[in-house]
Structure 1
Amino acid sequence: MTDERAEDISGLSFEAALEELERIVRQLEAGEAPLDESITLYERGDRLRTHCEARLKAAQARIEKIQLDADGKPAGTEPLDPA
């Protein structure tokens, strides 16, 4: 396939990966790609989906939650416990 298809997904930002995944979905939904290309697109799309999920989980782990004091007022933050 093209160099674009061989591009390393791990270096893509979430936004770039999502944009490419959406493009692939549109191509597959249009049904205009030959079977072999459709399979290749689907496989790349699946890798992009996995990459996006991993990036979202990593971002969620960095989110801070607000600690409240005894009066219910914000008193600071602490790292989100993803468990």
Structure 2
Amino acid sequence: MSDPKDTADISALSFEDGLKQLEAIVRELEQGNVPLERSISMYERGAALRKHCDTLLQAAEAKVEKIQIDKTGKAAGTTPLDPETT
């Protein structure tokens, strides 16, 4: 049921934009006045948005964990994220 264009559209979204779209879908579905077929497609898009946002969040968390601190306690730089460790 998902359109491949929707997936490409989602992959280009920032975390914040993806989260806004996901919140809008949740609000609309919670109102309960959406036809069944539309509810299903909205749910599928919401699941894809959640997965995308989760991936972006995990990448950001991993990058933050890689920040190096110098002897004075200040950020001295970052090390490249090693995909093998995630």
TM-score of the two chains, using structure 2 as the length reference: 0.72
Unpaired stretches in structure 1, ≥5 consecutive residues: none
User: Which has the greater radius of gyration?
Assistant: 1
Unpaired stretches in structure 2, ≥5 consecutive residues: none
Map of 2:19 onto structure 1: 18
Relative to its length, the structure with more helix (as a share) is 2
Q: Let me know the Cα RMSD of the aligned residues.
A: 2.7
| Superposition map of 1:33-72 within 5 A | 33-63=34-64, 64-66=67-69, 69=71
Relative to its length, the structure with more strand (as a share) is 1
1:57 shift after superposition: 0.8
Give the fraction of aligned pairs with identical amino acids, expressed as a percent: 47
In 2: Cα distance, 1:42 partner to 1:65 partner: 40
Q: Secondary structure at the match of 2:69?
A: strand
1:21 shift after superposition: 0.1
TM-score of the two chains, using structure 1 as the length reference: 0.74
Q: Which moved more, 1:5-14 or 1:37-46?
A: 5-14
Q: Are residues 62 and 44 of structure 1, via their aligned partners in 2, closer, same or farther at CA, if it must alter by over 3 Å? A: same
Q: Deviations over 1:14-48 (max 9, x none)?
A: 00000000000001100111000000000000000
